[in-house]
Structure 1
């Protein structure tokens, strides 16, 4: 059975990978493992050692602490992973026009208030 901390860290890796627009295959190639291994890391089925955590954080261009952000001592995520939000963040990065970004912010704000 996967340890809750390994599951939470794996979820964070998945979230950060999606936000960066990276596929499991690309991350696997950069780490030097199979994409199936990345899947196991992301599910928490396989643990990542300290050196692997540092390597993954570097590839995702985040500090190692980002992999543990908002995870309590029992491994419970303070704020559960929101895959849709991660995908929106990924797509947001592709919008280069400031006016378009402002319009989208206004739309999201309006929808959240109507919700």
Structure 2
């Protein structure tokens, strides 16, 4: 049972980290929003500390997701995500965030065409 608890806590922490990154928030910004220290938020995100229902609720409200979002993908004591999946998602989030910062429409169109061509060649 102890191992399953830590697995669940790590899963919830990864879901918090992922959603925080999607929202473009730093740990400091999110910690302030839920009235905790950024060190405590770090412990939540790496799964070393258990998070209360109240904090989970506050996180959901601040991150714009229902509370059950943090449990999605957790089945039978194991996280459903494949190894390396979170690193790929982080790279995609960063790419989208940077793409949105591009000012020139022609550059965005050209870059989108390049990414599409590379992806099609790998298929």
Q: TM-score range by the shorter chain?
A: 0.7 to 0.9
Shift of 1:73: 2.5
User: Match for residue 35 of structure 1?
Assistant: 38
1:114 matched to 2:121? The reply is: yes
2:86 pairs, out of 81, 98, 103, with 81
Q: Against the structure 1 CA distance between its residues 60 and 91, is the aligned structure 2 distance closer, same or farther, given a 3 Å change threshold?
A: farther
Shift of 1:112: 1.9
Q: Secondary structure at the match of 2:12?
A: helix
Larger mean Cα displacement after TM superposition, 103-112 or 4-13: 103-112
Where does structure 1 lack aligned partners over 5 or more consecutive residues?
none
1:23 pairs, out of 2, 26, 33, with 26
CA distance in structure 1 between the aligned counterparts of 2:108 and 2:66, rounded to whole angstroms: 27
Structure index of larger Rg: 2
CA distance in structure 1 between the aligned counterparts of 2:62 and 2:55, rounded to whole angstroms: 10
Q: Against the structure 1 CA distance between its residues 53 and 95, is the aligned structure 2 distance closer, same or farther, given a 3 Å change threshold?
A: farther
Where does structure 2 lack aligned partners over 5 or more consecutive residues?
none
Shift of 1:46: 0.6
RMSD: 2.5
What's the TM-score, normalizing by structure 1? 0.79
Q: Secondary structure at the match of 1:3?
A: helix
Q: Which structure shows the higher helix fraction?
A: 2
What's the TM-score, normalizing by structure 2? 0.75
CA distance in structure 1 between the aligned counterparts of 2:100 and 2:70, rounded to whole angstroms: 20
